[in-house]
Structure 1
Amino acid sequence: MNLRRRTFESLLIVAAVFVLALCVGCGAAGSAAPETSSVGKGAAPPPGSPTILLSANLQTVVAGQLTTLSWTASNASSISFAPALPAPEERQLTLPTGSETFPPSGTTTYVATVTNSNGQQASANLTITVLPVQFDFSAEPDTIQPGGTATLSWASQGITSLSIDQGVGDVSSLLPNGSLKLSPGATTTYTATATAQSGAKLTQQVVVSVAQPPVPTHPIKHIIVMLQENRSFDNYFGVLGAYRAARVPGATAADIDGFDPNLALKTKTGKLVKPYHYKTVCTEAFVFAWNESHAYMDLQPPDTFLNTDFSNAKFLMDKFPQNVNLTTKDPDGTRQMGHYDQTDLPYYYELATQFATSDRFFSSVPTNTNPNRMYMFTGTSFGHRDDDTPGSAGWSQKTIFRALNEAGVSWRYYYQDSDIYLSDFADYYRSDVKPKVYNISNLYSVLSSPTADDDLPQFVFIERAGSTGLDEHPENNIQSGAALVQKILSALMKSTAWQSSAFVLTYDEGGGLYEHVPPFQVPPPDDIAPILASSDVQGRFNLSGLRIPIMVISPWVKPHFVSHKPRELTSILKLVETTFNVPPLTRRDAWADDMTEFFDFTQPPPWKIPPALPTQPTSGVCDPSQEVGPTF
């Protein structure tokens, strides 16, 4: 029997224990030794002194399992953790409350320290224990039609007893590995309680949804989306046209709108720089957001970013090097103009050539990462134009995942490391959402099964692996990130699910890298205006972000296809909504094109057998000291 393993969040039966150490008067030169006390064991702290409490929904986990560490502070102006929490780079620790969700790499004691405006400090510590046992609990499939059957499966090591609620009872006799078939009459949450040899208890949940799923009007049963980080189209595919022309009979370099290699732009220091080929597969990062993104465009008067109609507007797209953060390694600010080619990214160049791409695909809003990921999940950034951090309850905006549940569509969200952006949203904590968040190992397990076409959900979102440097962010090795994508795609192409799948690979935004194609006008997603200060560039949510790479991979895509129709990230939402009959989330995705132009369902699938693809190398030089381009 083939078992599909599942590592996911659970609820601990034992509440988290914390120790509070209070430091009064510390932080000033010549002050007395800190005074410490424990909550509940002494007098209340003096008025105005900071306090900090820590808790975790899971204080005992198995390797790869997520826990949420939460804090509540008072009279504090800053907070820090030792060791640092493995949080995504865009996240800031919030006060007075906050939380981070991550998979601990090993048993760790986290110490939180808060400081008030007088320099007084308080600390709390909490230990997350990673047990040297294995316990994976899964349901395949986790969405069934009325009268259908799901299989509950478990795999374990070091577990001595196991019971499942909802009338299933004690299944210890089936340890270490086992399964059973169930036919619930309604959507049901199953809780498995496992006892380790040490006596510690682990509780994991799965949800089996009972729904009448929509029947697609075409052969695509599964849509898999992966959103990597911070790349402009020119940066990755600015020279794709020439490569494709050499590979596809009848194609020309002009089929793809790449940059002009002879265009020279002025830098902050008054020098000129042209597009150049990077000598390094990683660079220093770029400091940019809403204001810089609008400055890059160089919108010409009399038009302003408060326009409601940009049909006659002129964007020069020439201010990138004049709005870059200068560094010791890049004193003139040339690195925005660098690009890669087929020698760096042979796998991507061949994917985009053999399958489908577009030279008019854009991010949703001209700013940095999180607002664009908000659009990917909700069809709007609900006013946000920067990498704002939510409160402990998460953003309340409805996500595509809740909408899929309401429409009876099966889905899973896969995380690869401590980047779990879905945990920024209140939807993540819903009982019908959180159990569908899986470690990436489950995806490989499902795809390796002979029943993958039945077990793979209708929608899959793969979160980027930013904390481990595999998200293709500028300061990370792009070749290592591309090799990870190849690993995932190769598993799909070898599976029985390939015949009915579409894989969409794109990027959240341009990352501050040079892009010569101006944005296009889009409808505001709602009536919420951008949250702007008086010193910010004043604008609306009626312009797309900058152009980004996209690859659409499926047996059913038109071979060698290049789309020239303007689209942005919410077109991916529209593809999912159109395929599975899901209502739109906002006015933006309701308006968006549904991407069906990429496919041809009138003929047998041209890529039923995938083409031969090169192995993505990882041997390139990663040295930011080689990032600069020639100036003149």
Structure 2
Amino acid sequence: MKLLVLASLLLGNIALQLQLCNAKANTQVEHVIVLMLENRAFDHMLGYLTNINSDIEGCTPETCSNPIDPTDPTSPLVNLTYDAVYQQSDPCHSISCTTEQVFGYSSADSAQSKMTGFIKSYADRTGNTTYAPRIMESFHPSHVPAIYNISQEFAIFDAWHASVPGPTMVNRAYAASATSNGMGTNNPKMEGFGLPQKTMFEQLLDMGLDFKIYFQQFPSVLQHKPMRKPHILPKYHILDKLFMDLEKGDMPEFSWVEPGYFDGVINNKHVFQATDQHPDHDVSAGDDLIRQIYNAVRSSPLWEKTALVITYDEHGGFFDHVSPPAAPNPDGLNATDDPFDFTRLGVRIPTIIASPLIPKGTVVKAPESGEYEHSSLVSTVVHKLFSAEEGYEESTYLTKRDEWAATFETVFSLSEPRQDCPLEAPAVVSHRVQFPSVLPKLDGKMPITHLQQEIIDIASMMETEICQSDVDVLLGEKEMKEEGEALEWILGRVEDCLGIKVLEE
């Protein structure tokens, strides 16, 4: 099955070439594709790049380490390595755990962020002190060749942070709406009933523009209640349609791509491999998704007008050495489930933009004002790259966060598209082939994660809100133990409620 995602953002000094009254885009970029993967920190995924380009703020075994116990001044240090393949236990990355990791178990109110608590946080939550130092493992380029190659060919941000020092759905909410409406913990009840705030997708429609959501198994943006409205539902498409639309040159202004979140084998013949890179999934499957999406964008007739953005939701508890900066609270709401006032960003995560309008080897550093974080997607796409169609009004800012977030339109600095961009990303060899004794069996028998349970709860609400089924599935009632079982049920909800058939006969 073809796979995921593309992301693009656009702007520059080329706006003068367009007639403002009819212009859809303020740059030569007319289509933006964003692929958001799961749970990887910058140093953990791309820190090796500092060995290739010293301008990139990465990590080496000689420069980066963590104490086993940061509360003990005599604690031995564990140096970073380039041995990462697979992380068996999902590291904790709640607001509380991230605070421990960032501040080294000192008070966040009184101490500087030391970035020294990663090993202890992992050990405390898993109870496995022997395995805990593996949190310091990062990836060698040979293990994730697609993302490494693309990051060197176009633009890499070495100062892009998660919006919140916390979990997946909270940060994905910021990518869509520049707030989580006060949610600090992935809250199945809030997600199931739907976050109420306006999203950038609605902003684009208000501007007379269009968008599509492409997904492999389930679109997590359904955690937003406005994304369940009848006029929005036709904009959801299975991932294969992305490849068809790119080939035909039929793409909207903005596209949001979601990877697969579940491993599973259905009816003993349909094999689904998660591509989100979330532990404990095969990271090479997500890297191959990146490869497939880049190749499809590169071969599309829209290549010269398209920007592909590849990013991650949050750090997933993995090591990074750069302290997260402060940020404004978006809307005056504070989290009470895991108390937090939303005035501090999360850990750095990998973010790359591919476009022929970007000089090769561009490294985007921290901005002079604001910061690069997920609200930058909202701010750049809606307020910098695109303008409203004639007869439509320009959008206002959703929150104080997208008003503050740094924008990246200036990365598209070339007046003419480059002609030396790689035609294809390098082939990716499966880690299941390279390291067969390390990864679990691809049989769907692994226990479901917290994230997967939240997706189940969102899908549960589709029964009553979208397809108005007679089936009485209450929020929190549908509990499953294995991800393969959950996947089969999820695909059934997608077919019944969205009318999209994922599973072939």
TM-score greater than 0.5 by the shorter chain: yes
Partner of 2:449: none
How do 1:540-579 and structure 2 match up within 5 A? 540-565=341-366, 566-577=371-382, 578-579=384-385
Distance 1:282 1:266, change over 3 A: closer
| 2:121 is the alignment partner of 1:323 | yes
* Partners of 2:39 and 2:315 within 8 A in 1: yes
Write 1 or 2 for the structure with the bigger share of strand.
1
Q: Name the structure 2 match of 1:606.
A: 418
Structure exhibiting the larger radius of gyration computed from Cα positions: 1
Separation in 2 of the partners of 1:525 and 1:622?
46
Q: CA 1:332–1:280 in structure 2 vs 1: closer, same or farther (change >3 Å)? A: closer
Q: Name the CA distance, whole Å, in 2 between partners of 1:280 and 1:299.
A: 26
Q: 1:488 aligns with which of 283, 293, 308?
A: 293
The CA distance in 2 between the partners of 1:228 and 1:499, in whole Å, is: 24
Specify the code of the residue in structure 1 equivalent to 2:308. Answer: F
Query: Equivalents in 1 of 2:85, 2:97: separation in Å?
Result: 25
Change (3 A) 1:290 1:408: same
- Secondary structure of the residue aligned to 2:34 is strand
- 1:277 alignment partner in structure 2: 82
Cα deviation for residue 278 of structure 1 reads: 2.2
Q: Does residue 620 of structure 1 match 2:425? A: no
Cα offset for 1:256? 0.9
TM-score normalised by L of structure 2? 0.72
Any conservation in 2 of the 1:365–1:541 contact (CA below 8 Å)?
yes
Q: Conserved in 1, the CA contact under 8 Å of 2:99 and 2:105?
A: no
The corresponding residue for 1:144 is none
Measured after TM superposition, the shift of residue 624 of structure 1 is 4.8
Q: Which has the higher contact order (CA 8 A, sep 6+)?
A: 2
- Residue deviations 1:143-190 (CA, integer Å, cap 9, x gap): xxxxxxxxxxxxxxxxxxxxxxxxxxxxxxxxxxxxxxxxxxxxxxxx
- Percent pairwise identity: 26
Task: Give the conservation status (yes or no) of the 8 Å contact 1:236–1:340.
Answer: yes
The CA deviation at 1:274 is 1.3
Matched, 1:230 2:39: yes
The verdict on how the C-alpha distance between 1:258 and 1:267 changes in structure 2, with shifts beyond 3 A counting, is same
Q: Is the partner of 2:143 in helix, strand or coil? A: coil
* Equivalent-residue separation in structure 2 for 1:334 and 1:422 (angstroms): 34
**Aligned partner letter, 1:363:** A
Q: Please identify runs of 4+ aligned residues in structure 1 that moved more than 4 A.
A: 268-271, 299-303, 325-330, 622-626
Q: 1:293 to 1:431 in 2, by over 3 A?
A: same
2:49 maps to 240
- Please state how far the C-alpha of 1:299 moved relative to its aligned partner: 7.0
Unmatched segments (≥5 aa) in structure 1: 1-211, 246-253, 306-312, 627-632
Mind listing any 5+ residue stretches in structure 2 that lack a counterpart? 1-20, 264-273, 388-394, 441-505
Distance in 1 (CA, whole Å) between partners of 2:65 and 2:245 is 50
Q: Hey, what does 1:352 align to over in structure 2? A: 151
Residues in 1 aligned to 2:283 and 2:128: alpha-carbon distance in whole angstroms: 19
Q: Structure 1 215/420 Cα, relative in aligned 2: closer, same or farther at 3 Å?
A: closer
- Following superposition, the deviation at residue 621 of structure 1 comes to 1.4
Pairing 1:91-490 to 2, within 5 Å after superposition: 214-243=23-52, 245=53, 254-262=54-62, 263-267=64-68, 272-278=77-83, 280-298=85-103, 304=109, 314-325=112-123, 327=126, 331-390=130-189, 393-417=193-217, 419-449=218-248, 452=249, 455-468=250-263, 469-490=274-295
Deviations 1:553-573 (A, max 9, x none): 011112110011241111111
Compare 380-389 and 609-618 and name the one that shifted more: 609-618
User: By how many angstroms is 1:597 displaced?
Assistant: 2.9
Q: Matched residues in 1 for 2:421 and 2:49: separation?
A: 24
Task: Read off the aligned partner of 2:434 and give its amino acid letter.
Answer: G
More helix by share: 2
Q: Is the 8 A contact 2:291 2:425 kept in 1?
A: no
| CA positional deviation for 1:606 | 1.7
The alignment partner of 1:285 has SS state of coil
Post-superposition offset of 1:370: 1.0
Q: In the comparison of the two structures, how many residue pairs are matched?
A: 389
Match for 2:162: what amino acid?
S
CA contact (8 A) 2:44 2:318 kept: yes
Equivalent residue letter for 1:548: I
Give distance in 2, aligned partners of 1:216 and 1:279.
Answer: 41
Aligned-partner residue type, residue 460 of structure 1: S
Give, in whole Å, the separation in 1 of the partners of 2:28 and 2:104. Answer: 44
Say if 1:299 and 1:288 are closer, same or farther in 2 by CA, change over 3 A: closer
